[in-house]
Each structure stands twice: as C-alpha cells, then as structure tokens.
Structure 1
C-alpha cells in the first residue's frame, strides 16, 4: 500500500538523502544465498529494477552489459540501480547458463552454479528491492549504473539481516523487511557518494557549501527561492554558486528545485489525500493553474489526470 511522503517545514535541518529514500518507498527486499564451484558462468536477462549482491566467501567475476569486467572478492557489495543484463562467472568461465531474474526472485533456497557437489569456491548473497512507488528514475538519477563498494562491514550486516528475515519469517519479519531496505539504500548511497557518484544530489551533498543550500531547498520547499538567496546560504558569489551547483548536481539550481517539487507533488497526488490546490500550495505554487501548467510540462499530463491514474 502506498504511503504518501509527507515533508514538514520544521526548524530542524532537513536531510535530503533521507527524504529521497523515503520518497522512493522501498517496500521490501529479498535475498538468496548463491554459490559456485568449478568453471561456470550464468547470464541473467535484464531485470529493470534495483538489485544487490554481497560476496561472503571466495571471488568471482561480474560483467555488466556495457561495462568492463569487475572482480568481486569477499566483503564486496554491488548495487545495480536498473539491473541490465549481466554475466556472473568463475575466472575460467564455461558456456553460460541463461537465467530469468524474475523466476530466480521467486526461489527461496540456495542457488548453485557449476558443480553441484562439494564445498563451493564462492558464496554470495544476491537480492532485489521491491518499491511501493512508481518513480524508480529518482534512484537512477542519484547513482552510477554500477555501485561497487569494497569490504563494507555495515552493508554486509544489513544484507545478511535481509536474508535471514526473508528465509525465517519470524514474528515481525514483515515490518523488518519494510525497514531494512531503507537502511541498505542509505548506506549504499553514502558509499557511492564517497566514490564515483555521477553529477547529482550525492555529489552536491558531498560539497559542504552546496549541502547548506540543498538542505534549505528541501526543508523549505514552498519558499520562493532565488539564486542570490541560495548563494548567500552557501557563502558563495552568485556566479560561483550557479557554476558549482550546475557542475556537481548536474542541473541548474532552479531546475533542481523544480524537479524536487514535482517529485514530491507526484507522491502527494498518488497518496489521494490532498486536492490539486492543496498539493500546489505544499510545493510552493501560489495558484493551482500555475502549478498545473508546470506539472503538465514536467510530467506530461495534468495533475488531476495523474492522480486518477
């Protein structure tokens, strides 16, 4: 069931990363143990949704379509925001076995690659996120197409908790599986921000001065912001702020503010609890007609149609 994202203009400083993760509404996650022995290779078809993998023992090779092969060792974490087709293999691969990720997602037992008997050469935990919202592009805009984090104890612990809750179904497991994905996503995003994040919110938040302006834009979404006002918050000149924001975040400040307002508006409209005029006021528009024009231009349909669909 969709839970609308509700923001508040409180005196406390806003946390944009937490707000974005809540807006994604990760509803649950699942994870299975996978293992391999001998010479083997599997090719997964495109999945289209975010998936992850953490290496527990040994090593193997990951080749995502359009990317160079990556060696995965014990402790390594991989997040694929859109999960294109990929090959997972030993270092001396055999002819690949083709697998449908949607069918594998329905399995609740260990998945074995290569030789079926004996101790495995590698063990990993692989899984995927299930989202309540219909805006996965928000995650794609924040992260590289392949997030590779080496030796993350925190991510390893979180994935193992997801696997245990998925497999054991103890009392309270449904609640745990609705909260663990949020923690997993935040930790993965933090790790990505410290590495090769593309231009976007993560890069902006990693810049101390831009982070001040971004937090204010999120905290006071309905405020009539100007470039001069935001530059003053960042303690930068107008021109330096504009150039730095555009380079690191990937869009100009007012474009970012518009995109964030539209993302929040879409979520509020999906919640079916507010009228179009109320949503317009929440996200900083003085009139319903002005909001409707902006929403239609950004989303491709009027807000009233979007709410019904």
Structure 2
C-alpha cells in the first residue's frame, strides 16, 4: 500500500488524472467533496472509506470554489509525506489518507470485476474502527508498521466488498451473490465457466422463469446474464494467458469456446488486442547480456 496524508484548509481543490489501478481515500478528520468523472459529487466525512477499483480521473476539494492543482499519480507516487492544500498554516479542516493498493499480480482484473466503479462506505462502526487504526498506525511509524498497514488494508477491502452486497448498494457481482436465487446461477457460472450456458439454463438453476431471471439479474448485477458471462470468461482468460502461460487453444477450451479462432475474435473485441499479444505484453523483456 502506497499512501500519503492529504490535508486541506480554506478553499482548495486538487485534480488527479486517471490512474487505472485500485485507489482509496480514508477520511481521518473533517469533510470534503469527491467528484469522480462520470459520477455525482460525494461528500466525504470522518470515518468514510472510498475505493476506486480502477481510479478514473477525479477531483478532491473543499466546498468553496478554488482553482484545482493538477497531480498525475503515475508521475508523483505515494509514500512521500503529507500533502497540504489551501491555506498552509493552522489546523486543517480535513485530513485523509489517500493512496493505492499494490497487488502481487500486475493485473487485478478479477478483483475489479467484483466491484462497482465507485465504492463509498459510510456509517459503519467496524469501518470507523479500522479507519482509526489505519490512521494511528500510519502516523506512529512503529516497527512492523508496514506489515500492519498491509493487513489493515486487506480488512478495509473486505469491508468494502461486503458493503456492495447490501440491498441499497450499487449493482454488482457481490450484490448478486447476496440474492439467494441469483447466487445459485452465479456460482454455477463461476464453477463451470467452460459450459455452453444459455439464459434458459441459468434461469432453471435459479428456479425462475426466463424473463424474471433476465430482468432480476440485469437489475441486480448491472449487466445482462450473457454479457456478465462473457466478461467473466475474459477475466479468467486474461489470468490464464498472462500469469499461467497457457496456449491460446487451451485457454479457449477452458473458458467455453469450441475453437481458438472463435475465442480469439471474442477476446480481441472485448479486450482490444489479440490473446497472443495480450499474453506477450505482460512479459518482462530479458536484460541484455
């Protein structure tokens, strides 16, 4: 986890460019405004936790007007001390811990596919305790702090994912898994991704009529059943190609395609590049001897 304390006083604004990897904001004190591109502004208050699975461009600001300071997170990485915005002197109006999660694998696509574009968790006593512990641990910098922060970060992620399963959460996979009928179909899709599923098959698994299943799935998960299955197959295929080095024909078979050519067309359309090119793009070139 790379992170910085971010504080602000008076009127201020900071504009972050798109990052493309999971980012977060933990509100330690006060409040501010978060405006993620494509979403309505969100008021953040003490104890809130925000997760941006792909971190699109966003603005963090006070509630008064201010010209934004621009930051590119790919150029200015986290872990470089406190960043103060607005008035430089005096107690800040808000303090937060903002940064990015680092994963063992370079492609966190399976995690991202579980979550909505913006996860905002508030009013949770458990989360408030975790936020307080993260803030204390980050500021104390005692021996073992890096390990403790990584464990606490994992707990925060779990709480965020749990929040997306609630009935008032945005549509997403975890909310679908919270639906007793849809969970049956989703678990079968995940367990047998290579099966030639149809909407009728999945509706029977969920013990619903075809139309009722289709409407309920689309409303709860946020995409139609076959669109979800396609996206899930492509995420599984990415893992096989880049991290397990399987040949294209074997990957096609494992994710439910009858031929490598059919799979390659679907993968290229969905991902934007061919399976072989995607697999090679994740490899580190050997150093010259």
Smaller-chain TM-score range? 0.7 to 0.9
2:267 corresponds to 1:295: yes
**1:19-98 pair list within 5 angstroms:** 29-37=1-9, 39-49=10-20, 50-65=22-37, 67-81=39-53, 82-89=55-62, 91-92=63-64, 95-96=66-67, 98=69
Structure with the greater relative contact order (CA < 8 A, sep ≥ 6): 1 or 2? 1
Change (3 A) 1:151 1:125: farther
Give me the TM-score of the superposition, normalised by structure 1: 0.73
Which stretch shows the higher mean deviation, 296-305 or 131-140? 131-140
Alignment of 1:86-235 (within 5 A): 86-89=59-62, 91-92=63-64, 95-96=66-67, 98-102=69-73, 104-130=76-102, 132-134=105-107, 139=112, 142-144=115-117, 146-158=118-130, 164=137, 168=141, 170=143, 173=146, 177=150, 181-194=153-166, 197-235=169-207
Name the stretch that deviates more: 246-255 or 258-267.
Answer: 246-255
Counterpart contact for 1:221–1:261, Cα < 8 Å? yes
| Structure 1 unmatched ranges of 5 or more | 1-28
Q: Which moved more, 1:130-139 or 1:276-285?
A: 130-139
Q: CA deviation at 1:84?
A: 1.7
Give the TM-score normalised by structure 2.
0.77
Contact persistence 1:60–1:88 (CA under 8 A): yes
Moved more, 216-225 or 285-294: 285-294
1:69 Cα offset (Å): 4.1
Q: How far did residue 181 of structure 1 move?
A: 4.9
